[in-house]
Amino acid sequence: MSKQTLSFQAEVAQLLHLVTHSLYSNQEIFLRELISNASDACDKLRFEALDKPDLYEDAPNLEVRVTFDKAAKTLTITDNGIGMSQQEAIDHLGTIAKSGTKDFMGKLSGDQKADAQLIGQFGVGFYSGFIVADKITVESRRAGLKAEEGVRWISGGTGDFEVETITRAPRGTSIILHLRDDAEEYLNAWKLKQVIAKYSDHISLPILMEKEEWKDGELINPNDENGGRQPGGMVKTGEWETINKASALWTRPKKDITEEQYAEFYKTISHDHEAPLTWAHNRVEGNTEYTQLLYIPAKAPFDLWNRDKKAGVKLYVKRVFIMDDAEALMPTYLRFVKGVIDSADLPLNVSRELLQESRDVRAIREGSTKRVLSMLEDLAKHDKHDTAAGADGVTDVVDADDKAKEGKYTQFYSEFGAVLKEGLGEDFGNRERLAKLLRFASTTSDAVTVGFADYKARMKEGQEAIYYITADTLAAAKNSPQLEVFKKKGIEVLLMTDRVDEWALNYLHEFDGTPLQSVAKGAVDLGKLQDEAEKKAAEEAAEAFKPVLAKLKEALKDKAEDVRVTTRLVDSPACLVVQDDGMSTQLARMLKQAGQQAPETKPVLEVNAEHALVKKLDGSVHFHDLAHILFDQALLAEGGLPEDPAAYVKRVNALLV
């Protein structure tokens, strides 16, 4: 038998130090993680056995067994799933394959209970065993390998681990926890059953424990006044009992499942420590039959914006696990959705290629997308439920379910709103539904709670467009010079500050028949909101300013496509806009920051002919410098930077002197 001592990957060593020295609150999560891993191992065997039935060997019934030995102070979790070879044990238990540990370290708050809950989120659930154990022994044999090709892995949770070859007849894995003194409560059957019922009752394969019965102490001295007996106790009978329901939670009737069970199932499949925001459990019948149990999380995962990470729901076919992260069953913009889809129609040997082409898969994808949007619409409907007396003096009656949903959509949108906007460009069929779910800040509210429908309901009489502005930050949007005339006239403007907004609005040109108009694109046209006197005054100012405009165009010909008088400015001397069909300066900046090519376009400089600085241009000996300062200040006001900051500073200093 070969035996070797190896060192942990540096990140694992850091993690183990953290686990063994800090995370003692809520110890019981270790059992949830290890049983969940055992269940996954059985699921993987099921999947591989679709093509290789002999992997089942002589044990076709998959199960997890939990045993304990009070004398040895050990707790053992055994599964007869896929198992590990020696190299797999080294790779899986000695390193962390995904780059999540640094993010994990950065998430730690100092709150031991909260920190302990983070373990599973980063794919390091196995190491939670060191919360209760000062040594862990793992014995395993991969299905299909010979008995003498088993492996034993041992570590005390410090810098290294031992690996040796052993003979192991049963396939699968046994994790033996050598418990510390402060974790001896897990050597009691009642405690283990309590924890398993709380966290793992929904696991779809049986979790077995050996039955116990009470045995009276043996009679030693019949004449003893205390009965002359040794103490009695619980003894194992040799029979095994199933201590969980052992049926897939999604296959049970909804009326038989409690909210707590739904929440715990979500935590297991998502490795999230918080309860979900909402969920939907439905059986869909028709041309394609399937069951869906879909969850919307309360918090965004740390890797939501990692495009390389696979995301999606779990796919089962006739209760047989097929794959994690079935991306074909949910559009990319709903990648935050967790859950299970169990189909009765897909073939058991379904492959990823088939998933992308199957008519049934398309039907499941469309049905699941609609279900998620319905869940969001329901949350949005209750988000601003008013319990105060209405106009008729009658107070609305709000049931407990409605009350529980209040404020949840705002919470959802703060976490996932930017991702939802991606759907405008990805899902043409549901674009109108998505548009109704979008929320923004506006010139009347800093809170991101204003929908297009809210905006339309407040539009001024004669207003013909929904006005919006995009910017890098809320402050930049609120203080943009382009808003001045809108503020003067009391016209609400939506403030859009997500990086995805510019891209998404290329696919949304109107809402419910009303066009969307950027206040930073094209010439401002307030239509019926601008009276004839204002129009006439603007035209006269533009005519009188023509000579200065001509000189400005010449001075700025390398920077500006055009220079014109504007009516959109009240207090500022100038601002930059682009033509109606042009790319905004903000989007061009974002593309360059991302290392992508942006078309070389010049903005239009609009000047306020009534502003003192602009009036000073006429006849000034510093005309050229003032023209460039005017342009660069307009660029700064919208969050950009002058091409030559040093030249800008030099011009300003010269004028100040």
Binding-site residues from annotation for ATP? 33, 37, 79, 84, 98-100, 121-126, 173, 352
Helices (H), 296-387: 352-357, 359-382
Angle at CA of residue 409, ends 406 and 414, nearest 5°: 130
DSSP state of 251: G
Q: Which residues are annotated as a binding site?
A: 33, 37, 79, 84, 98-100, 121-126, 173, 352
CA angle 430, 436, 438 (to 5 degrees): 100
Q: Distance between CA atoms of 553 and 606, rounded to whole angstroms?
A: 11
Burial 50-78 (b: 16+ CB within 10 A, else e): eeeeebbeeeeebbbbbbbeeeebbbbbb
DSSP 375-421: HHHHHHHHTT---SB-TTSPBPP--HHHHHHTTHHHHHHHHHHHHHT
- Sign (positive/negative) of CA torsion 534, 540, 543, 548? negative
Pairing of strands 466-470, 514-518: parallel
Q: What are phi and psi of 611, to 5 degrees?
A: -80, 140
User: Tokens standing for 508?
Assistant: 């949304």
CA distance 376 to 451: 14
**Which strands sit side by side in the sheet containing 313-317, from one edge to the other?**
278-284, 290-296, 338-343, 313-317, 320-326
Q: Find the helix packing angle between 29-49 and 259-270, rounded to 10°.
A: 70
Contacts of 442 (CB under 8 A, 6+ apart): 450, 455, 492, 493, 494, 495
